[in-house]
Structure 1
Amino acid sequence: MTETIRLRLDLSYDGADFYGWAIQPGRRTVAGVLLEAFARLVGAETRLGMTVAGRTDAGVHATGQVCHVDLPVEHWTELSPTLLRRLAALVPPDARVRAITPVPDTFDARFSATFRRYEYRVSDTQWGPEPLRRHDTLGWPRPLDLDRLNAAAAGLVGEHDFAAFCKRKEHATTIRAINRLDWRRDPDGICVATVRADAFCQAMVRSLVGAMLAVGDGRRGPEWPAKLLTQRERSNVVVVAPARGLTLVEVGYPDVAEYRTQAVATRRLRSSPVA
């Protein structure tokens, strides 16, 4: 058996021209361009077992994505002094590997994570987002009230069944624990939602944002999003906010000694069906 070393990769990407993270035949994806770059360095026959913290959807960005690969030691010995620079030359400019760190094989980018933090940017000016921010900021046609947005957000914090806001997967739970959800207005006038949770279901963050925007512009009452938590199926009245406003900004991990324990606990939790 080939001896390998596990490497943590810290990544950023502009998701505008990617069909999400995961490899899809005939489509340009973040994992696809990364694996193509590694193939040029270590050969296409080398299996890296790439695992990511969060499989972002098409159009979603990242400034704090994390993945891991298992690289044969012989390749690491040869490439370690120059690997970061070589990847910078091989990976297209809308994706960057910012750091490469050897980690214990108990580290799992997905299951060892304790939280993911996203931000969603919205411009409610009459003229829309600034041209240089058009890829990561949604233009909203109605004025937004920050107090109403935060009132709606407050009702969604905590551990709940978010089935109304998720695309359900068979035999998987839609129970999640949100420990932060709030809105701010930056000096440039942009409204920014910050949401942090142990993990998220598919389309969950954009669904939450879509519901809160309906409150922020006055079409729904502040209590409405929280009332949807009583539903056990995807709500057909919640509009999913567009992908371009969403960025994965941070993934948290425990101390090194807790990598395996956290991974085991997360795997058990994620495979537990909703009663």
Structure 2
Amino acid sequence: MAVIRLRIDLGYDGGGFYGWARQPAMRTVQGEIERVLHTITRVPDGDESEPLRLTVAGRTDTGVHALHQVCHLDISRSALQRCVGHMAVPAPTALMHRMQRMVPTDIAIHRVSIAPDGFDARFSALERTYVYRIADRSSLVDPRMRGFVHHIDADLDIDAMNAAAATTIGLHDFGSFATPNPGGTTIREVKTAYWRRIPTTPLIGVAATMGESYRTPAVESGLLCFTIIADAFARNMVRSLVGGCVQVGIGKRSVDWFAGKMAVPKREGSTGPIAPQGLTLEHVAYPSDDQLAARAEAIRAKRTL
């Protein structure tokens, strides 16, 4: 059976899902998309000859969002061709159009394309970018954004939080802030990690003849955002790092405490994850096509310090 690997780019509002990974009797992103794929291709769910299983760049937890997620799908040429029907478009485009119409409204299919040779959505990825958004006492709390912004009723010290975040950059064992998969490790390489207050700016330029009442603010104006880029992330790693930084920001813990947790990777109660709704997977980066297979092979090796 001729098999084609497809790359699927998508986004989703994680608020209504029990995470990415398919689970029995739970509504998950993977479960919803695979259900739609079986319907479109007319392949029965449970058909071992055509499992239609998605492999994702990074599994997101319950309540975590994705602006740009990537997964791949191995599908037989015959099943893919059945997606075309009466549409005069290539089969991957036909599948994309049908998925866009059939997925629930909290999922958006951006693109479906034939994957280059050697592409693996998970193992070929160079880096992932996450952003955590907080509205603190210095921010305007906008109730319309409660689904993807976490509200903290405190003044946060951004300088102290950045000092803590700086200790995460580089190759470290994040065992104090993450849990490994079975047989895995919590060693990861963080390339960038910083906190930034989004400037308060108008949505559009204001003409000289218009009054102050027309200065509609940009939606993220005033929010405190944590941006972190790493080659990969262990389970609960980003939310736990954010939680630790917030404890430093409100003065409950010191930068030295945070640095100590980085130096001695031991999981305990004070380094648990913060609420999920503030976290969004923003981007997944891949190498050039000729480096995809080599990257996948290298990243499969178990890491050490």
User: What are the superposed Cα offsets for residues 120-153 of structure 1, whole Å, 9 maximum, x if unpaired?
Assistant: 0000038874122111000001111222221111
Alpha carbons 1:166, 1:201 under 8 Å: kept:
yes
Residue 211 of structure 2: aligned partner: none
CA distance in 1, matches of 2:173, 2:20: 26
Residue 235 of structure 2: aligned partner: 202
Greater shift in the superposed pair: 110-119 or 39-48: 39-48
Q: 2:54 aligns with which of 17, 35, 50?
A: 50
3-state secondary structure, aligned to 1:237: helix
3-state secondary structure, aligned to 1:82: helix
Q: Residue type matched to 2:79 in 1?
A: H
Q: Residue type matched to 1:24 in 2?
A: Q
Q: Residue type matched to 1:8 in 2?
A: R
CA distance in 1, matches of 2:139, 2:280: 22
Alpha carbons 1:6, 1:71 under 8 Å: kept:
yes
Determine whether 1:166 maps to 2:178: yes
Determine whether 1:33 maps to 2:32: yes
User: What are the superposed Cα offsets for residues 197-256 of structure 1, whole Å, 9 maximum, x if unpaired?
Assistant: 011110000000000011112222223212102223213211311110000001111111
CA distance in 2, matches of 1:71, 1:212: 43
Cα pair distance change 1:224/1:249, threshold 3 Å? same
Q: Counterparts in 2 of 1:60-209, with a 5 A limit?
A: 60-78=64-82, 79=84, 80=91, 81-125=93-137, 129-186=141-198, 187=200, 188-209=221-242
Q: Residue type matched to 2:256 in 1?
A: E
CA distance in 1, matches of 2:67, 2:295: 24
3-state secondary structure, aligned to 1:12: strand
Cα pair distance change 1:133/1:195, threshold 3 Å? same
Cα pair distance change 1:22/1:6, threshold 3 Å? same
Residue 251 of structure 1: aligned partner: 284
TM superposition shift of 1:175:
1.0
Residue 5 of structure 2: aligned partner: 6
CA distance in 2, matches of 1:132, 1:101: 34
TM superposition shift of 1:82:
2.3
Greater shift in the superposed pair: 219-228 or 129-138: 219-228
3-state secondary structure, aligned to 1:206: helix
CA distance in 2, matches of 1:250, 1:129: 26
Residue 22 of structure 2: aligned partner: 23
Residue 263 of structure 1: aligned partner: 296
CA distance in 2, matches of 1:24, 1:153: 34
Q: Residue type matched to 2:172 in 1?
A: H
3-state secondary structure, aligned to 1:132: helix
3-state secondary structure, aligned to 2:241: helix
TM-score, normalised by the number of residues in structure 1 = 0.93
Larger radius of gyration: 2
Residue-pair matches, total: 271
Greater shift in the superposed pair: 44-53 or 22-31: 44-53
TM superposition shift of 1:36:
0.6
CA distance in 2, matches of 1:197, 1:126: 29
3-state secondary structure, aligned to 2:15: helix
Greater shift in the superposed pair: 112-121 or 77-86: 77-86
Greater shift in the superposed pair: 96-105 or 197-206: 96-105
Gaps of 5+ in 2: 85-90, 201-220
CA distance in 2, matches of 1:233, 1:172: 16
3-state secondary structure, aligned to 2:271: coil
Q: Residue type matched to 2:67 in 1?
A: T
